Structure 1
Amino acid sequence: MYIADAHCDALLQLWHDGGKDFATDPAVSGNALKMGGVNAQVFAVFDPVYDRRDDGFSIILRQLDVFHEKVRTHGQIVHAPGEPLTKNGKTRAIVALEGADAISDDWMKWRLLKRLGVESAGLTWNEGNSLAAGCFEQKAHGLSNKGAAVVDWLKAEGMILDGAHLNEQSFYEAVQRCGTFFVSHANVRRVHDHVRNLTNEQLQMIQEKNGLIGMTFFTSFINGEEEAWFADLAHHIDEISGRIGPEYIGFGSDFDGIPTPIKGLEGPRRLPALIDWLLKRYKEEDVKRWAGENFRTFYNQHIEKNASNVQRGRL
């Protein structure tokens, strides 16, 4: 079975503590990816804006350096931007930018990130910035003129736009003008009312955009409790599948970025346990989709559509 995870914060952890070993230390470690049979893993680079630092772009570059020095060189990892996803016993690494506070509309910085292998980008974290309003600002503005220009640039350059942290107005405006679009890690507001979760209208727009939703394993977004179980996540899967169809669902764990994951799902090595649980309750075809086939289809269609623009090949 093909397994993919659309979001993790292992690079943030490795940057915070330079002594950590990617092979063993983060939840999303090289060994854990191998044990879990993970075929594709998205690694986020994130400027921790909550620290109010003024060296955000340097932090992003340092996390990219960690990726190239510690992650890409691990024997389990294959890094080949712009190449179709295949199943070969290795883990294909995809690099994503989570929040563009430190970049804004500085095109030199955007070009550099693309050349360093970044394939996907989100405009904000929870708070707003010069580009857009974040989800903690639900009554705020949408995209700024700079934000609209960045969305246009991402489309022209064949990069994926991630709407995970946008407020509703920014989300709607971004979807209307972007190219490939997905939400890397979120759940459903109808099941649990949290601003990071998606409304029915947002689900519909993802369907119309032929996008994808990565189900996150953070208890705060699943049920708002300190503990959540596989069955609690299934409520979100049921809601999405019943509303827009099973072909828009994937995994977006947020491992290494969340304090309380689902019980029994503390890292990628435990993903087979979730898949086994789902197989006992849903059609095998649908479980295969959610485990990773939907993500593989989404990514490969993006690559095919943007063949002339994507950054290709091993770096």
Structure 2
Amino acid sequence: MNTETPARLPIIDMHCDLLVYLTDVPGAMQDNVEEIGCALPSLAQGNLKLQVMAIYCATHAGSTDYAKKQSEAFKLLAEADNNLTPVTGPDELQLALQANTTGMIAAIENASGFCEEGEPLEDGFKKLEKMIEDVDRVLYIGMTHSLANRFGGGNYTTQGITRDGKMLLDYMHGRHIAIDMSHTSDALAYDILEHIDKEKLDIPVIASHSNFREVWDHARNLPRELVQEIVHRNGLIGINFLRSFLNTDEPEAIFEHIKYGFANGAENAICFGADYFYTADEKYADQQPFYFPDLVHAGVSYSYILKKLHNQLNEAQLHKLSYGNAQQFLERIWAKP
């Protein structure tokens, strides 16, 4: 395992599943570096200055209760005597980048977390408001996960947006919450952009933890046209560390994705979205290992990446990748009236 020193630059990462681990795994502990790559000691070692904590659920009965447990876990982390500090605006972000702690902010991965398939949409929006109140701020919302729900098609489907999906976008207008494309079908992604343009909605666009399909042909990776749309809209693209989305056989494929982004117009959009989650569940046995050895946890991965890229990207580009692009994006969307 890589034992590099902590990353020399501050790191902002757009996606991890610590909240799922803490609420779903019996005996889960926030400092268990053996079980999850974003355990708190690893975040501190990796010089994480802001870690986005996803509230995730699959689409099934009880999904909102499952997500509620995670929003409560976020509150407990924010209130505990640990190395985490909530970030809810530009001032807190500036402090987090200079502090010896890790900032944290919540996001929603799958809108089924606040609205189940059979309940009135208005009730779902009330649950969303309560979730935002509980965690103080939500950075982004992903409509779907891998499959389809009432809002649209996930990344393993070909379905586009539904009426409820359009209503969710209308709800998000002007609320300083980004729409996340990381788990949309291609059809849903383009439908989202079309509705935003047609209705002139003020909604930032990101792909919080996705790589490039031109480098590795996988449904979870972004096609060229969607990359161009996100870049055109001043969005973010968070590089995912999972082996399945990089190249299952090539340990250094992550550098090809990063360099592709810089070479194809995404220099001001590219950032990190490592996607660390609990991988010891037996149902995932056929997909092991999930991460290449140098990317197994936050304490070593960012340092490894920056060191390897030191002679391939210039200093300004390394700053953009590490934290600069994400910082500018957050400050821009939060500064709007």
TM-score by length of 1: 0.89
Where does residue 252 of structure 1 map in the other structure? 273
| Identity score, percent | 23
Evaluate the alpha carbon distance shift between residue 72 and residue 143 of structure 1 in structure 2; reply closer, same or farther with a 3 A threshold: farther
Where does residue 129 of structure 1 map in the other structure? 149
Evaluate the alpha carbon distance shift between residue 102 and residue 32 of structure 1 in structure 2; reply closer, same or farther with a 3 A threshold: closer
Q: Does 1:93 align with 2:104?
A: yes
- Whether the aligned pair in 2 keeps the contact of 1:190 and 1:200 (CA below 8 Å) is yes
Q: Distance in 2 between matches of 1:64 and 1:18?
A: 18
**Which residue identity is paired with 1:281?**
Q
Shift of 1:102: 4.3
Where does residue 12 of structure 2 map in the other structure? 4
1:144 to 130, 140, 162: 162
Shift of 1:131: 0.5
Q: Distance in 1 between matches of 2:250 and 2:20?
A: 24
Where does residue 173 of structure 2 map in the other structure? 155
- Whether the aligned pair in 2 keeps the contact of 1:134 and 1:166 (CA below 8 Å) is yes
Q: CA RMSD in A?
A: 1.7
Where does residue 193 of structure 2 map in the other structure? 175
- Whether the aligned pair in 2 keeps the contact of 1:186 and 1:252 (CA below 8 Å) is yes
Shift of 1:290: 0.7
Superposed CA offset, 1:29-77 (max 9, x none): 221111111101011111134xxx4211111010111121135524211
Q: Secondary structure at the match of 1:191?
A: coil
1:23 to 19, 26, 31: 31
Matched pairs, number: 298
Q: Does 1:222 align with 2:229?
A: no
Name segments (4+ residues, structure 1) moved above 4 Å. Answer: none
Where does residue 69 of structure 1 map in the other structure? 76
Shift of 1:257: 5.2
Query: Which 10-residue stretch deviates more, 152-161 or 208-217?
Result: 152-161
Where does residue 3 of structure 2 map in the other structure? none
Where does residue 118 of structure 2 map in the other structure? none
- Whether the aligned pair in 1 keeps the contact of 2:72 and 2:134 (CA below 8 Å) is no
Q: Distance in 2 between matches of 1:156 and 1:295?
A: 19
Q: Does 1:265 align with 2:276?
A: no
**Which residue identity is paired with 1:137?**
T
Shift of 1:17: 2.2
Where does residue 47 of structure 2 map in the other structure? 37
Q: Secondary structure at the match of 1:120?
A: strand
1:60 to 48, 59, 67: 67
Q: Distance in 2 between matches of 1:196 and 1:120?
A: 18
Where does residue 282 of structure 2 map in the other structure? none
Shift of 1:302: 0.9
Query: Which 10-residue stretch deviates more, 61-70 or 190-199?
Result: 61-70
- Structure 1 unmatched ranges of 5 or more: 308-315
Superposed CA offset, 1:153-191 (max 9, x none): 122322111111011121112124151111000111111
Where does residue 229 of structure 2 map in the other structure? 205
TM-score by length of 2: 0.84
**Which residue identity is paired with 1:46?**
Y
Q: Secondary structure at the match of 2:105?
A: strand
- Whether the aligned pair in 1 keeps the contact of 2:54 and 2:107 (CA below 8 Å) is yes
Shift of 1:89: 2.1
Superposed CA offset, 1:112-156 (max 9, x none): 122122332100001011011111112x2x211111110121223
Q: Distance in 1 between matches of 2:79 and 2:329?
A: 23
Where does residue 305 of structure 2 map in the other structure? 274
- Whether the aligned pair in 2 keeps the contact of 1:23 and 1:74 (CA below 8 Å) is no
- Structure 2 unmatched ranges of 5 or more: 1-8, 116-120, 280-287
1:241 to 252, 262, 268: 262
Q: Distance in 2 between matches of 1:74 and 1:33?
A: 16
Where does residue 127 of structure 2 map in the other structure? 109
- Whether the aligned pair in 1 keeps the contact of 2:239 and 2:273 (CA below 8 Å) is yes
- Whether the aligned pair in 1 keeps the contact of 2:209 and 2:239 (CA below 8 Å) is yes
Evaluate the alpha carbon distance shift between residue 32 and residue 71 of structure 1 in structure 2; reply closer, same or farther with a 3 A threshold: farther
Q: Secondary structure at the match of 2:151?
A: coil
